[in-house]
Structure 1
Amino acid sequence: AAPADAAPTAAATDAAPPFAAAQGGDGASPAEIFMPRRLPSPLGVPLGSGEAWMGVWETFIEPGTPGAPAPRVYLLEHDVLYDRDGIYGDAHGEFGDNLARYALLSRGALQLCHALGFWPDIVHVHDWQSALVPLYINVLEHRSPLARAATVLTIHNLGYQGWFNKFQLPTTGLGWDQFHRFCLEAHDSINLLKAGIYNATLVSTVSPRYAQEIQTWEGGEGLDGVLRDRGSDVIGILNGIDDSIWNPATDPHIAATFSAEDLSGKGLCKAALQREMGLEERPDVPLLGLISRLATQKGIDILAGALDHILSLDVQLVILGSGERWAEDLFSRISGASDRFRVYVGMNEGLAHRIEAGADLFLMPSRYEPCGLNQLYSQRYGTLPVVRAVGGLDDTVENNVTGFKFEEMSSMALGNTVAWAVHLYRADPAYFRTMQLRAMKKNFGWSHAARQYEALYRLAISRRTGRPI
C-alpha cells in the first residue's frame, strides 16, 4: 500500500474502485469482522493550495443489541500529521500545525463521503476540532450531494475554541470572504468553534444547565453573544453512562458486588479500599473520594483551601488523578504525613471503580462542569456526591435527596457542605441510607439521551431541508 502521505501510484489509480463496502462472509469470526483493514488506495484530500493523501481503514463496532447490524467505522491515517506522542501537543507545547491537522480531518471526512458515494442526512461534529465541517458543507459543498446534509455541533467544553493566527487561513482552503465576525473572525484571529456555531444547523451541549450558562457573560468564554444569536437553536442534552460497565451488581473491579436491594457488599468495598490505600479500617468513619484532573477548572484549589477543615471532621479522603504540578506535589506531601488522606497520582481504571464503590461521599467542587460523569457513577454506586451547583452537576444531583450542593465557589462553602453531609451520615444514618437508595435507583443510562438525540436529528434535518421528518 502507498504511504499515507504519498500520491497514489498509477496502478492504484487505474485499479477498480477501492471504496466498495466490505462484506464479511457468513463464516467470518468476530476477530476477523472487527479487525481494522486498510483499504487498498489512499484518499486525496484538498489541503491549502495542494492535496494531502490519507490512508483509509475500515472496521466495525460490535452492536449493542445482539443480532443488530454492526455499525461501520472508517479511520483516516496520515502519519506525518497524526503519528505523534500527543494529541494536541507535547512537552514542548501545542503543535504549530494543529490547524492543518484538524482541517485535514474535517475535509477528509467529507472527501470520504464522496469516495464512498455516501450522502448522509446529518453530520454530527464535536468541539473545535471538527467545527470546520459545517462551514465546509455550507461553502465548499454547496453544489454537491452533501449540501443537503444537516449538521449538529456539540460543545463539550466551551473553554477550548481553536484559536489560530489569521494568516494561517489559506491552510483551511477557505477564502478571506469567510473571515468576518459572523464566521471565522474573532479579535482579528481565527476561531474555529465560533465558525461552527454560526454554520451548524443546530448546536447542542451536554446538559440543559450548561446550555443556559454558556449564553451568559460569566459562562460564555467570550462567545456568549454568538450563542445568544443562535437562541433556541442551542439545546442541552444530558450525557449518559455505560451502565453495563458502571454497575455495582456486576463490577469485576470491586471487592464485593451490591445493589439497591442488598447494600451489604458496599461495606466490604469500603474496608477493601481502606486497606488498599493504607488507611485505618474503620467502618464508622465517613470515607470521601475524588477522581479528577487536578486542575483549577475542577476546583482543586478550593479543595486545597478546605482540606484542613474537612480532615478535622474525622473523615478519610482518597484522591485519584493527575494534573497541575502544584496540586500533585501538595497532595503527595499531605498524603505522606497524614493518616487520614491518600492520593494516587495518575490514572487507574480499577482503582476508580473501587473508589466509587467504597466511598460514602464523592467530591466535585468544579468551577464549571458541562456535564460531568463521576457524579452519575457515584449515585449508581450509592456514593452521595457533594457538588457545586453548575452545569450537569446541578442537573443531575438533587440537594439533600441524592446528594449535596453548594453555590459559592469558595473553600468555606465546600467545607461547610462536606460538614453537613458528614453530620447527616453520623446523626441520621437511616436518612443517609434512604438517600443512597434513591440515588442508586436513578436511571442515567443512554436510552433517554438516545431518544433526545433522535429528536434533535429530526429537527435538524427538517430545518435543513424545509420538510418534516
Structure 2
Amino acid sequence: MPDRPLKILQVAPEIAPYAKVGGLADVVGAMTREFSQAGHDVRAIVPKYGFLEPDENWTALESPLSVHLGGGKEEYCRLWRMPYLDAPGQVYWIEFDKYFDRHEIYTGPWGSHADNHERFAFLSRAAIDYCHAFDWYPDIIHCHDWTTGLVPAYLNSTETGTPLVGAATVFTIHNLQHQGIYGRHVLDFAGLPQSLFRPDNLESVGNVNMMKSGLYNSTKLTTVSPTYGREIQEPALGCGLNHVLKFRAADLVGITNGIDTKEWNPATDPLIPANFNADDLSGKAVCKTELQRAFGLEETAEVPVFGAVARLFDQKGLDLLSAIIPQIMEEMVVQIVLLGAGDPALENEFKDLAARYPGKVGVFIGYNNKLAHLVEAGCDFFVMPSRFEPCGLNQLYSMAYGTLPIVRSTGGLADTVEQYVEGRGTGTGFRFEEVSSHALYYTIGWACSTYYDRPEDIAKLRYNAMTRDLSWSASAKVYGDVYRWARDARLRGLGIPSATSLSRSPFPVGG
C-alpha cells in the first residue's frame, strides 16, 4: 500500500526569501516547497518581523492565537497566512510586537537581543498552541536550530497527554556553534517542568541549553552535510556537545543542502549582464568584463579572477586570504575581488589591500545581491578557506556558474567539491586540508598554474561543475526518508503500528 501523504510542520526563525540570515532559511523554504508540491500538507510557523510588510497574498486570521506560557500566563498574537511562493505550502506568520517587531532577527549592532530566550521560547510554544487551536496534528514537526529546541521538550513533557503526543520531531543542526544558553528561569517562562533540568536533557553547566534540548528530546536529528555530522561528534568542532551527538549518533543523518536553481541559474539569471550555460560560456566572458569594471580592475580576459563573498569573521577564514595577498600580487598574475562585511579590522585590512594594489584587488564592504550574482558569474575561481563549514552555499552557486571553488576540506565543502585530478580533468574544484595561509597560497597557485598551463582541464572542470545536479530534489528525497523513519520510530515508542518497519536509519553519519 502506498504511504499516505504526511502532515509536516516547519518551525523556524527564518524562511527564504522573506526573512533570511543564512542557509537555515533556504532549507526551510526548500522543504516547504518540495514537500507541498509532492502532495504533503506542509505548514511553516515563522515570526513576523518588523521588516516584513503584508501584501495581497497575506491573509489575517480573524481569531488571535492564544499562547500558553508558564505560571498560567496567556498571551495573544495575530496570525497571518500566505501561500509559499509557487507551492501549495502555507506560511503562518506570528505577529507579536513585543518580541518580533524588530528589524533584526537575532542580533543588532549591540549584539544579541537580550530577550532572545523569551522570543524563541514564545515561538516554540506558539507552534504547539497553533496545532491545538486549529485541531491540526502533524506527523512531523521539523525544528531548526537552537531557536526551536524547546518544541521537542514540550512534546516529551507537557504534551504527552494530548493529541500531539504522536508527532515525531526532526531537529536540524545548522550551526552547532550557536546554542541558546540562558538561565534556569527559561523553564518557568516557557512552562516546562523543572524535571528537565538535568545533564541528560537540557541542562548545561548550570544553565538551560536550548540546542541541547533539541538534541536530547527530538526523535531524529539531521545536520546539513555528512562530513559536518561526523566532525561535530569530536571535541574540535563539537562545541561542548560532542558527547551528546556521539550518544545520538545512530539517529543523526547528514543531508547536504541544495540550492534554488531558479534564483541561481546562469542561463536565466536576470541579475547578470549576459546569460550562459555549460555548452556556451560566451556570456561568462561578458560577466567577467563587467565584474572587472564594477570593482575597478584592469579589464582583461587573460588574467584569472579569484573572488570571495562572505561574512568577515573567524569561521570563514578570509584572514588567511588577506595575509597572503601581498605575496600573491608579487608572484602571480591574478586579480582578486571581495564582497563582504563583518569584523571591522578585517574590513580595513581588505580596504588597505585594494588601495595598495589598484586595478588588481577590488573590495566592496557590505552586501549587494546583484553584485554577489556578478561575482559568481564573472570570476574564474571562488575562494572559501573556512575553518569549519556546516554546509556552505557559495561553493554550490559557484559550481552552477562555472566558477571553480577553492575550499578547505571541511564539512559540506568536502562533501560537495570534488578534488581536481591534474591531467585528467576530473573534479569540480580545488581542496586543501590545513588551516593555514601557507596551504591556501599553494592551492591558489595550483589553480593559477592550471588556468595558464592546462586550459583544457579548466574547461572540463567547468563543465563537470555546471552539469552537476545541485538542486534540492536529491536532498528532499533523503529528508522524506528521515521523516518516515522518525514517524515510525515515534509511533513504535507509543506502541502504535506504523506504515513501514524502519528501526534504524539506513544512512546515519555514525560515530
Given the two structures, how large is their TM-score scaled by the length of structure 2? 0.83
Give the alignment partner of residue 384 of structure 2, picking from 364, 372, 375. Answer: 364
Counterparts of 1:438 and 1:80 in 2: how far apart (Å)?
50
Structure-1 residue corresponding to 2:65: 43
2:447 to 416, 421, 424: 421
Show CA shifts across 1:54-90 (max 9, x none): 11111111334xxxxx222211111011112322233
Write out per-residue CA displacement over residues 81-135 of structure 1, whole angstroms, 9 at most, x where no aligned residue: 1112322233333222211111110000110111111010010000000011011
Give, as a single letter, the amino acid of the residue that structure 2 aligns with 1:60: P
Q: Is 1:227 paired with 2:245?
A: yes
Unpaired stretches in structure 2, ≥5 consecutive residues? 1-42, 44-53, 421-426, 493-497, 501-511
Q: Which moved more, 1:391-400 or 1:96-105?
A: 96-105
Conservation of the 8 A alpha-carbon contact between 2:157 and 2:193: no
Taking the TM superposition and a 5 Å limit, the aligned residue runs for 1:280-295 are 280-295=298-313
Question: 2:208 is paired with a residue of what secondary structure?
Answer: strand
2: CA distance, partners of 1:263 / 1:457: 40
Paired residues in the alignment total 434
Letter in 1 for 2:355: G
Which among 445, 450, 462 is matched to residue 471 of structure 2?
Answer: 445
Q: 1:118 aligns with which of 136, 155, 160?
A: 136
Residue from 377, 392, 397 that aligns with 2:397: 377
| Cα distance per residue 1:428-450 (max 9 Å; x no partner) | 11111111111111111011111
Instruction: Tell me which residue corresponds to 1:12.
Output: none
Q: Which moved more, 1:308-317 or 1:112-121?
A: 308-317
Identity within the alignment, %? 45
CA distance in 1, matches of 2:327, 2:443: 11
Which residue number in structure 2 is paired with residue 186 of structure 1?
A: 204
The one-letter code sitting in structure 1 at the alignment partner of 2:231 is E
Aligned partners of 2:278 and 2:463 also within 8 Å: yes
The CA distance in 2 between the partners of 1:349 and 1:287, in whole Å, is 19
Deviation per residue, 1:362-413 (Å, 9 max, x gap)? 0000010000011011111111000000000000101111100000000000
Q: Which residue of 1 aligns with 2:336?
A: 317
- Alpha-carbon distance in structure 2 between the residues aligned to 1:214 and 1:463: 24
In structure 2, the partner of 1:387 is 407
Q: Which amino acid aligns with 2:472?
A: W
Shift of 1:52: 1.4
Q: Which residue of 1 aligns with 2:85?
A: 62
Alpha-carbon spacing, 1:275–1:33, altered in 2? closer, same or farther (3 Å): closer
CA positional deviation for 1:39? 1.4
Measure, in 1, the Cα distance between the counterparts of 2:328 and 2:382: 13
What is the rounded CA distance, in whole Å, between the counterparts of 1:211 and 1:179 in structure 2?
26
* CA 244–90 in structure 1, closer or farther in 2 if over 3 Å, else same: closer
Kindly indicate whether residue 286 of structure 2 is the aligned counterpart of residue 263 of structure 1: no
Output the CA distance in 1 between the equivalents of 2:363 and 2:291. 12
Q: In structure 1, what residue type is equivalent to 2:76?
A: W
> Which of 269, 275, 298 is the matching residue for 1:251?
269
Map of 1:412 onto structure 2:
438
Alpha-carbon contact 1:298-1:368 (below 8 Å) kept: yes
Query: Where do 1:136-151 residues align within 5 Å?
Result: 136-151=154-169
Moved more, 389-398 or 75-84: 75-84
Structure 1 letter corresponding to 2:294: E
Give the Cα–Cα distance (whole angstroms) in 2 for the partners of residues 430 and 297 of structure 1.
Answer: 34
In angstroms, what is the RMSD of aligned CA positions?
Answer: 1.5
Residue type of the alignment partner of 1:455 = D
- CA–CA distance in 1 between the matches of 2:111 and 2:292? 39
Whether 1:432 aligns to 2:458 is yes
Segments of 5+ residues of structure 1 without an aligned counterpart are 1-20, 22-31, 65-69
| Cα distance in 2 between the residues matched to 1:186 and 1:264 | 56
Contact 1:182/1:195 (<8 A) preserved? no
TM-score by length of 1: 0.90
1:79 aligns with 2:102: no
The alignment partner of 2:342 has SS state of coil
Deviation at 1:155, TM superposition (A): 0.3
- Structure 1: which 4+ aligned runs deviate by more than 4 Å? none
The whole-number CA distance in structure 1 between the counterparts of 2:266 and 2:185 is 53
* Deviation readout 1:260-309 (Å, 9 max, x if unpaired): 11112111111111112111011111101100001110002211222222
> In structure 2, what residue type is equivalent to 1:333?
D
| C-alpha displacement of 1:223 | 0.4
Q: What CA distance in whole angstroms lies between the structure 2 residues aligned with 1:88 and 1:402?
A: 35
> In 2, Cα distance between the equivalents of 1:119 and 1:257?
46
Instruction: Measure, in 1, the Cα distance between the counterparts of 2:242 and 2:478.
Output: 24
Tell whether 2:174 aligns with 1:156: yes
CA distance in 1, matches of 2:166, 2:433: 45
TM-superposed deviation, 1:33: 9.9
The one-letter code sitting in structure 1 at the alignment partner of 2:79 is V
Q: Which has the higher contact order (CA 8 A, sep 6+)?
A: 2
Does structure 2 retain, via aligned residues, the 8 Å contact 1:151–1:202?
yes
Q: Is this contact kept in 2: 1:34–1:62, CA < 8 A?
A: no
Q: CA deviation at 1:34?
A: 5.9
CA separation in 1, counterparts of 2:140 and 2:95?
A: 23
**Residues 202, 216 of structure 2: 8 Å contact kept:** no
Q: Name the residue aligned to 2:369.
A: 349
CA contact (8 A) 2:141 2:167 kept: yes
Match of 2:37 in 1: none
- Aligned equivalents of 1:62 and 1:273: distance in 2? 31
Rounded to whole Å, the distance in 2 between the matches of 1:446 and 1:432 is: 26
